[in-house]
Amino acid sequence: MSLPQTQEPKTSRGNSKSIAVINPATEEILGEVARQTADDANKLVAKAKEAFNIWRKTPANVRCHMMHEAAAKMREHKDEIIRLLTLEEGKPVPENEEEFEWLTNTFDYYAELGRHERGRVLPSGEYSQLNMVIKEPYGVAACIIPWNYPLLLMAWKVAPALAAGNTVIIKPSELTPLSSLYIQKHCFDHFPEGVVSTITGYGDEVAEPLVLHPDVPVIAFTGSLAIGQRIASLAAPMMKKLHLELGGKDAFIIAEDADPELAAKALAYAALTNAGQVCTSTERVYLPSSKAKTFTEALIHHVQSLRLGPGIEPTTDMGPMIGATYRDKVVKHIDEAIAKGAKVLTGGRIPKHLAKGYFFEPTVIASVDHSMLIMKEETFGPTIPIMEYNSFDEAIALANDCVFGLGACLLSSDPLKAKLFLEEVKAGTIWINDPLTDNYAGPFGGMKMSGGARELGQEGLDEFRETKHVHWEFNTSAKSWWYPYGQ
């Protein structure tokens, strides 16, 4: 069994030398990238391993300046980077402008954090001793990046890995490699050879060799649970450091005191950003039964006002999905829910006015329950499934009734409800009244089947450092507790 593929079936193995990159808004070929092999991966590992012996000894101030230089180069190429992101991934330009800001600022953030500390000094057991905790880089880190945020999620891994002193090999998704290759060429060119490199290809042909390579001690991956489980099974015999963020099925609870118009806007943003193709997308909505009709009507009105189209067009609110197979999964979830009694209130179709592209109407669906796929499995599309609750305790229980625990949202001005929510809901990130907002200094990651990795903040840096305890005794005389015991 090999790593599952994300490429469209019709183009997945069409050429032994290259991979076509498709514009999801037009279905046109944007360009081709090399279909690299295990041999290419092995060569990059050898270079990265050699470079590690130099990079880990490079002063933190020097590493800091080189990372700031990378961010500065990105800003010089801002327009082209955003254009490539929009064409190959599909989401609207404003969303890619936000991704670009996260890309550059993450490199600047970790450039400074990387020279802030290397560990700590502990109180020693004896006056003649020194005890220290030292944080050290692992070595070569393989960073396997998904297609939905190809540069943001690259930065969240690569920047802390470099700041910690590791070298990195970036494996972008075969669906969105163009922006990553552009940055490799124009923004990482000042790093010493082997410190940062990028490889393109399919999972089983280049990512799996990296996972299995004995000289790659760290595997950082964002993607599906199935692929994460496969990576874990491959890496377990070698006891590698795994950094896995494996998706979610995030809940959004609307409390009775919330304003319906505000709730509609918050829900639409949380569920439909990037056409719902976000690991922290709202995929389960819980409304109070007493006001469900009012909230639902406001939501439908707002969703119906959204404009679909290519992300490159300035009037677009929501762009296409990344490919036909992903859209087919959304259709499957909706159809299964309808067969079990759910009702589509708006959307639920492929728009007729957009003849090309992998578009799907934003969909509000009600009368759902937890027996349905749309409330259990990650849909990863523009759907807003609504379920009613009778008490806030019931809403909390429903939010926790899920194998994933990446994030959860609450809209309420009631501090008691907010406190109960943040303490009782088992999720790595809790958003109250401001969904899907991240913080460079705040750790991002999940619980349960969402994986235990943390990105951003101090925790994100420590993911790429291993801990060493140093016990140093300055008095070299023999100790009274040494052998023989009889004296």
State phi, psi for 477 to the nearest 5 degrees: -75, 160
**Bridge partners (DSSP) listed for residue 366:** 343
Cis peptide before 4 (omega within 30 of 0): no
User: Which of 52, 487, 436 minimizes the C-alpha distance to 277?
Assistant: 436
The answer to whether the beta carbons of residues 331 and 381 sit under 8 Å apart is no
- Catalytic residue check, 64: no
And the tokens for 14? 């069409």
Catalytic residue selected from 64, 187, 279, 409: 279
- Catalytic residue check, 245: yes
Catalytic residue selected from 95, 245, 361, 463: 245
Sheet holding 241-245, edge to edge: 196-198, 167-171, 140-144, 218-222, 241-245
And the tokens for 108? 């600047």
The answer to whether the beta carbons of residues 240 and 448 sit under 8 Å apart is no
The answer to whether the beta carbons of residues 153 and 145 sit under 8 Å apart is yes
Collapse the DSSP code of 117 into the 3-class scheme (helix H, G, I; strand E, B; otherwise coil) and give the result.
Answer: coil
Residue type at 41 in one-letter notation: A
Round to whole Å and give the CA distance between 25 and 17: 25
Round to whole Å and give the CA distance between 172 and 206: 11
Burial of 200 (0-12, 13-18, 19+ CB in 10 A): buried
Cα 100 to chain centroid, rounded: 15
Round to whole Å and give the CA distance between 180 and 206: 16
The residues annotated with a catalytic role in the active site are 245, 279
